[in-house]
């Protein structure tokens, strides 16, 4: 990592601070003219990250900050094209590229391993943020607009259109999103957090284009921004570009936008609100949440105290507050809002339940307060506090990067300090604060005092009861239609014509072919020729089925036990996901579940179990199947980790029937929460369900059918016989797993890998065997389907899938390019820009041997399916070009080359080998991608996108049932 403090003459050096535990050196600079701060996280990492964040503080729920984030990316001074952001996604080898709107900031980050690509993206991002076009037509497309249902007919119904409008309709269809927004509205009565920064669908149409321009002028000045970078490009190089690309044009400093402190409540308040739920039964669907407003988030010790307090009270089933929430008969499960929220200027501690009834609100509040008073009086076990401090240490040490790039994770971790006059460096380097906490917790009164001061003596408390309402969605829909009808009735002839003209102008703009050559690009010549190989330090054999990988894990050991799935009955298959969820949550090794939970927290970073069903690369009807038990720990605890994993599998307490029932109650309470958030994935899974055994398993266990199955199983537990049957299935599955062939995976850094390997062998040699038994059996019908799944949602999620091939087939790389080409060249414009959906595209899925079209948060339905069909016509026309194919190739290669964490890369190498994806095959696939031509795409499209072989699935609302049944959809209620 760089230690040089050299900077551009337009910047002044403030300080630097090495953080050895993160392998970075944080350098702090300030722009002399504007005061813009630059934090550079210097690291020996070729994956460089850039982010510019701006303090954005809306004081209404029109979604102005969110719509501005979208519109900023629709063209700028140097890049006056309609869609530079999405065009650059196609012309880049980025490993991450996005924009975020938070409650009080907006950020524009990207990451790439290619220096040329970094420069290209930086040019576009800087111009977009500081010199955007903010065209009124882009505002109409991305934000909101009036449009007649028949755009050229003023006599047809008036409607609202807009990408963000539909995005937020989808977002606010989620009960948990509604819960959080309602909760923060009450907890923050006067500040920006009172409002929905994403935008409330009912309020979004109130925003004017002029208000958008004014908001940009006020908030998007360098004085109000923070630049953050990570990687092996020097701070001087970054600052030279910042100055050249924008900062030099700003000649003065303006006032920084501040979030004022919230006006404190003098006494607690109770609130009753409603959320939309379209289900036959509303029993046990109420949420009850208590929340306290705490202090500011800028002091690293206060933030860590908050996380420690939250962990001690709520981390696991042995934590005292979580224990009473899990055991109460007044609710099904703890609330998903439980814990500390530290992203706002003033932190929030929340605790509550889901699966309750409104009449229990006072009792739940009393239950929570009584337990807090008990803790304040009696204290908590010192071992439990030590265990939670251990968890904080482990989370600080772990190197991420498997979801977001590691550098971006660090930047986001520190951003709150930069945004709120705190110290982002201190939020990264918590070692000193952890030592301070380690000393403080030696005092038995430390946690009781925090509970007393931060919670019990804090009057700024809200108790929110959120009750389901089956009529609320219809009421909102009716109110929107009535408002639109009233507006239409009041339109003059000229005003109606203006709406028609706007639709025509927007369509003309959307249809225009932009000159992409004005944007910078990388080409296939910039693509690395080879794939990185991570060799195993020890490779598994039949006699010694251990695979060992050495990686820079920063003192953390990762262990996995893989068990070949045995032959299971249909009932056992149905409960297998519940078996995996319960397994690490039960007692083991002679301990009860509370003792085991405490031990897990003290010596591990957590245990988990799951099934992995992966396609055979050569045969669509064959597959690999495993149960995988995973754990991680600091290297000093690796022996305890290995022993605990063994005990979990061999001795899990299936006699803890009350615990099993509680766990399944919790799973049932949470199962609906993520449906609309990932509605397109669910719809795709449904459309592909019959194409292969892997696809059928995914649909039956984690798709719509899996959701229905868990609801049915949960209902069966109301009778003792149902619970006895469940325990019998769990025992049978475990017995079969113990007799099945097993192997092990170890990932650790060079300082401990040999010791960890020896420890694992001594602990697991009696467990691991090469037994053979009847294998796991799955089949698929290969019949097309046409299904509609109904739930509470204001928007649609459409999917249409076609059977295809597995990854070893020569057509597979061409199909992957086809998906990117159709998405970039046709579907993005047709489904998102013109159709108003938040997203839409197509993708090839080698695991399920399918090619699938999809839309996300889509206001349309049958029209979107028509667009899916029209995509093939576009591909066959002269509108499709080889240049678009080249861009699609870059997209596919970028996804293939996206780096993960050191541990994640080692695990990926292991599983690629395990599932037959050897280096020569991966290289053949890569070469197949790089050599794809437009003629290839047309050939594979005609070969696989065959109308009579297509399967349809949609996630939608009850209101669409009749329409869909008229079009031969089979309908199911979730």
Residue 237 has pLDDT above 80, yes or no: yes
**Beta-carbon count within 10 A of 482 CB:** 10
Taking the alpha carbons at both ends of the chain, their separation in whole angstroms is 52
According to the 3-state scheme, what is the secondary structure of 600-612?
HHHHCCCEEEEEE
- Confidence at residue 22, expressed as pLDDT on a 0 to 100 scale: 87
Q: How far is CA 166 from the centre of its chain?
A: 19
- CA dist., res. 236 & res. 256, Å (int): 25
pLDDT score recorded for residue 770: 63
pLDDT at 173: 86
List the beta bridge partners of residue 546.
744
Q: What confidence tens digit (pLDDT) does each residue in 504-531 have?
A: 999 999 998 888 889 999 998 999 888 8
Q: Decide: 182 and 222 in contact? Cβ < 8 Å.
A: no
Burial class (CB in 10 A: 0-12, 13-18, 19+), 732: middle
Q: Most distant CA pair in the chain: distance in Å?
A: 85
Local structure of 304: helix, strand or coil: helix
Q: What is the mean pLDDT of residues 625-638?
A: 96
**In this structure, what are the phi and psi dihedrals at residue 881, rounded to the nearest 5 degrees?**
-130, 160
pLDDT single digits (tens) 716-760: 998 889 999 999 999 999 999 999 999 999 999 999 999 999 999
Between 844 and 281, the higher pLDDT residue: 844
pLDDT for residue 911: 96
The neighbouring-strand residues paired with 693 are none
157 pLDDT more than 80: yes
Confidence label for 771 from pLDDT (cuts 50, 70 and 90): low
Q: How many CB atoms lie within 10 A of CB 237?
A: 17
**Distance between CA atoms of residues 805 and 826, nearest Å:** 23
In order, the DSSP letters of 866-899 are HHHHHHHHHHHSTT--HHHHHHHHHHHHHHHH--
The whole-angstrom separation of Cα 879 and Cα 890 is: 20
Nearest in space to 840 (alpha carbons), one of 881, 852, 676: 852
Would the CA dihedral through 172, 177, 179, 182 be positive or negative?
negative
Structure tokens that stand for 53 in this block: 């964040």
Structural contact between residues 822 and 875, judged by C-beta atoms closer than 8 angstroms: yes
Which residues have a Cβ under 8 Å from the Cβ of 694 and sit 6 or more positions away?
A: 613, 614, 615, 623, 778, 847, 848, 849
Convert 954-968 to b/e letters by CB count within 10 Å (16 or more is b): bbbbbebeeebeeee
Q: Is the pLDDT of residue 120 over 90?
A: yes
Residue 104 burial class via C-beta count within 10 angstroms: exposed 0-12, middle 13-18, buried 19 and up: buried
191 touches 260 (CB < 8 A): yes
On the question of pLDDT at 774 being above 80, the answer is no
pLDDT tens-place string over residues 568-582: 999 999 999 999 999
Picking from 80, 193, 187, the residue whose alpha carbon sits closest to that of residue 127 is: 80
How many other β-carbons are positioned within 10 Å of the β-carbon of residue 729? 22
Contact (CB, 8 A) for 45 and 406: yes
pLDDT, tens digit, for every residue of 679-720?
999 999 999 999 999 999 999 999 999 999 999 999 999 888
Beta strands in 266-335 (DSSP E): 269-276, 286-296, 333-334
- Smallest CA-to-CA distance from 22 within 409, 459, 564 is with 409
Write down the number of H helices and E strands in the chain: 34, 27
Taking residue 340's Cβ as centre, other Cβ atoms within 10 Å add up to 20
- Average pLDDT score over residue span 333-362: 96
Query: Which residue do the tokens 């979801």 mark?
Result: 403
CB burial string 637-664: b at 16+ within 10 A, e below: bbbbbbbbbbbbbebbbbebeebbbbbb
Q: Which residue has the higher pLDDT, 3 or 134?
A: 134
Question: What pLDDT sits at residue 619?
Answer: 95
Spatial distance between the Cα atoms of 516 and 828, rounded to a whole number of angstroms: 16
Give which of 579, 583, 613, 610 is closest to 596, Cα–Cα. Answer: 583
The pLDDT confidence band at residue 553, using thresholds 50, 70 and 90, is very high
**CB count in 10 Å sphere of residue 102:** 19
Q: For the chain, what is the mean pLDDT?
A: 94
Rounded CA-CA distance 579/927 in Å is 42
pLDDT band at 298 (very low <50, low <70, confident <90, very high): confident
For the stretch 820-823, contacts whose Cβ atoms lie closer than 8 Å and that sit 24 or more positions apart, written own/partner, are 820/90, 820/887, 820/888, 820/889, 820/891, 820/892, 821/875, 821/880, 821/884, 821/885, 821/887, 821/888, 821/937, 822/853, 822/871, 822/874, 822/875
- From the number of C-beta atoms within 10 Å of its C-beta (0-12, 13-18, 19+), residue 507 rates as middle
Distance CA 59, CA 743 (A): 57
Confidence label for 2 from pLDDT (cuts 50, 70 and 90): low
**Dist. CA 156–CA 673, nearest whole Å:** 36
Q: How many CB atoms lie within 10 A of CB 395?
A: 13
**pLDDT tens string 803-830:** 999 999 999 999 999 999 999 999 999 9
Arithmetic mean of pLDDT, 45-64 = 97
Backbone angles phi, psi at 531, to 5 degrees: -105, 135
Alpha carbon distance 444, 678 (integer Å): 45
What pLDDT is stored for residue 1 in this prediction?
A: 61
Q: How far apart are CA 39 and CA 226, in angstroms?
A: 8
CA-wise closest residue to 739 among 675, 649, 616, 815: 649
Rounded Cα distance between 753 and 940, Å, is 47
Asked if pLDDT for residue 608 goes beyond 90, the answer is yes
User: How far is the C-alpha of 947 from the C-alpha of 967, rounded, in Å?
Assistant: 15
Q: pTM of the entire structure?
A: 0.93
Tell me how far CA of residue 800 lies from CA of 58, 785, 815, 971, in angstroms. Answer: 39, 10, 15, 16
CB 817 within 8 A of CB 892: yes
DSSP string, 195-263: S-TT--TTTGGG--HHHHHHHHHHH-SGGGEEEEEEESS-HHHHHHHHHHHTGGG--S--PPP-PPPPP
Query: Cα 717 to the chain's mean position, in Å?
Result: 32
Mean pLDDT of the region 209-216: 98
Q: Which two tokens stand for residue 66?
A: 């969110």
- The whole-number pLDDT of residue 386 equals 94
**Judging by DSSP bridges, how do beta strands 37-42 and 225-231 pair with one another?**
parallel
Q: C-alpha angle 229/233/239, rounded to 5°?
A: 65
| Predicted pLDDT of residue 673 | 80
pLDDT band at 896 (very low <50, low <70, confident <90, very high): very high
Cα–Cα distance between 793 and 173 in angstroms, integer?
5
Output the pLDDT for position 656. Answer: 96
Quick one: tokens of 497? 């014509």
pLDDT at 240: 98
């Amino acid at each position: 990592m760089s230690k040089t403090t050299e900077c551009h003459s337009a910047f002044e050096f403030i300080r630097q601070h090495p953080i050895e535990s993160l392998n970075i050196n944080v350098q702090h600079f300030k722009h002399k003219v504007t005061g813009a701060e630059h934090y550079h996280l210097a690291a020996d990492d070729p994956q460089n990250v850039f982010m510019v964040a701006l303090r954005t503080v809306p004081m209404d729920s029109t979604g102005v900050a969110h719509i501005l984030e979208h519109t900023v990316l629709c063209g700028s001074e140097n890049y006056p094209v309609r869609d530079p952001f999405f065009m650059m996604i196609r012309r880049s080898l980025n490993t991450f590229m996005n924009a975020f709107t938070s409650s009080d900031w907006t950020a524009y980050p990207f990451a790439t391993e290619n220096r040329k690509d970094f420069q290209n993206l930086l040019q576009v991002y800087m111009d977009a943020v500081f010199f955007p076009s903010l065209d009124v037509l882009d505002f109409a497309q991305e934000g909101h607009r009036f449009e007649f249902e028949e755009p050229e007919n003023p006599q047809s119904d008036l409607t609202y259109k807009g990408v963000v409008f539909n995005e937020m309709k989808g977002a606010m269809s989620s009960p948990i999103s509604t819960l959080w927004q309602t909760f923060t509205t009450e907890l923050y009565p006067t500040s920006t957090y009172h409002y929905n920064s994403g935008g409330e669908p009912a309020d979004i149409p109130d925003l004017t284009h002029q208000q958008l321009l004014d908001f940009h002028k006020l908030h998007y000045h360098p004085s109000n921004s923070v630049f953050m970078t990570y990687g092996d490009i020097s701070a001087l190089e970054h600052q030279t570009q910042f100055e050249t690309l924008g900062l030099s044009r700003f000649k003065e400093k303006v006032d920084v936008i501040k979030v004022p402190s919230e006006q404190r409540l003098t006494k607690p308040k109770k609130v009753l609100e409603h959320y939309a739920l379209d289900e036959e039964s509303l029993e046990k669907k109420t949420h009850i949440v208590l929340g306290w407003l705490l202090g500011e988030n800028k002091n690293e010790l206060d933030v860590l105290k908050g996380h420690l307090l939250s962990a001690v009270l709520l981390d696991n089933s042995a934590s005292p507050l979580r224990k009473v929430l899990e055991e109460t008969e007044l609710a099904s499960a703890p609330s998903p809002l439980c814990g500390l929220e530290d992203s706002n200027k003033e932190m929030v501690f929340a605790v509550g339940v889901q699966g309750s009834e409104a009449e229990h609100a006072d009792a739940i509040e009393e239950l929570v307060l009584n337990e807090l008073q008990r803790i304040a009086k009696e204290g908590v076990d010192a071992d439990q506090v030590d265990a939670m401090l251990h968890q904080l240490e482990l989370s600080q040490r772990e190197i991420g990067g498997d979801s977001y790039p590691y550098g971006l994770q660090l930047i986001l971790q520190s951003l709150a300090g930069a945004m709120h006059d705190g110290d982002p460096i201190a939020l990264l380097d918590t070692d000193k604060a952890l030592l301070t906490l380690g000393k403080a917790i030696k005092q038995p009164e430390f946690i009781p005092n925090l509970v007393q001061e931060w919670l019990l003596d804090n009057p700024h408390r809200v108790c929110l009861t959120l009750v389901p309402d089956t009529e609320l969605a219809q009421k909102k829909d009716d109110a929107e239609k009535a408002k639109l009808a009233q507006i239409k009735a009041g339109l003059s002839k000229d005003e109606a014509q203006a709406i028609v003209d706007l639709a025509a102008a927007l369509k003309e703009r959307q249809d225009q072919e932009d000159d992409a050559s004005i944007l910078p690009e990388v080409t296939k010549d910039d693509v690395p020729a080879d794939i990185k190989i991570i060799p195993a330090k020890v490779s598994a054999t039949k006699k010694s089925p251990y695979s060992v990988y050495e990686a820079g894990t920063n003192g953390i050991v990762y262990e996995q036990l893989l068990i070949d799935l045995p032959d299971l009955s249909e009932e056992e298959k149905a409960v297998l996901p519940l078996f995996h969820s319960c397994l690490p949550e039960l007692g083991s090794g002679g301990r009860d579940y509370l003792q085991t939970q405490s031990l897990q927290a003290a010596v591990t970073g957590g245990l988990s179990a799951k099934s992995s069903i992966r396609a055979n690369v050569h045969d669509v009807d064959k597959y690999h199947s495993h149960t995988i038990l995973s754990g991680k720990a600091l290297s000093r605890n690796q022996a305890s980790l290995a022993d605990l994993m063994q005990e979990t599998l061999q001795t899990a307490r299936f006699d803890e029937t009350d615990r099993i029932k509680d766990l399944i109650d919790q799973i049932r309470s949470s199962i609906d929460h993520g449906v609309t958030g990932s509605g397109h994935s669910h719809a795709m899974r449904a459309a592909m369900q019959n194409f292969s055994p892997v696809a059928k398993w995914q649909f039956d266990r984690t798709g719509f059918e899996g959701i229905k199955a868990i609801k049915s199983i949960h209902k069966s537990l109301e009778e003792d016989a149902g619970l006895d049957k469940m325990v019998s299935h769990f025992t049978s599955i475990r017995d079969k797993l113990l007799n099945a062939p097993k192997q092990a995976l170890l990932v650790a850094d060079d300082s401990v890998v040999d010791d960890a390997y020896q420890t694992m062998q001594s602990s697991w040699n009696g467990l691991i065997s090469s037994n053979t038994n009847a294998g796991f059996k799955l089949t698929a019908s290969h019949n097309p389907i046409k299904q509609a799944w109904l739930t509470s949602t204001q928007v649609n999620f459409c999917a249409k899938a076609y059977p295809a091939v597995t990854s070893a087939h020569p057509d597979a790389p061409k199909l992957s390019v086809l998906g990117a080409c159709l998405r970039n060249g046709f579907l993005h414009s047709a489904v998102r820009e013109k159709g108003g959906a938040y997203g839409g595209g197509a993708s090839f899925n080698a695991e399920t041997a399918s090619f699938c079209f999809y839309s996300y948060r889509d206001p349309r339905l049958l029209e979107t399916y028509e667009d899916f069909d029209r995509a093939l016509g576009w591909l066959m026309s002269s509108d499709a070009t080889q240049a678009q194919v080249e861009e699609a190739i870059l997209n596919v290669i970028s996804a293939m080359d996206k780096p993960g964490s050191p541990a994640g890369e080692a695990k990926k190498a292991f599983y690629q080998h395990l599932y037959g994806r050897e280096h020569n095959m991966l290289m053949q696939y890569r070469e197949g991608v790089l050599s794809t031509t437009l003629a290839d795409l047309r050939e594979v499209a005609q070969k696989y996108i065959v109308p009579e072989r297509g399967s349809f699935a949609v996630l939608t609302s009850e209101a669409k049932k009749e329409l869909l049944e008229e079009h031969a959809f089979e309908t199911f209620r979730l």
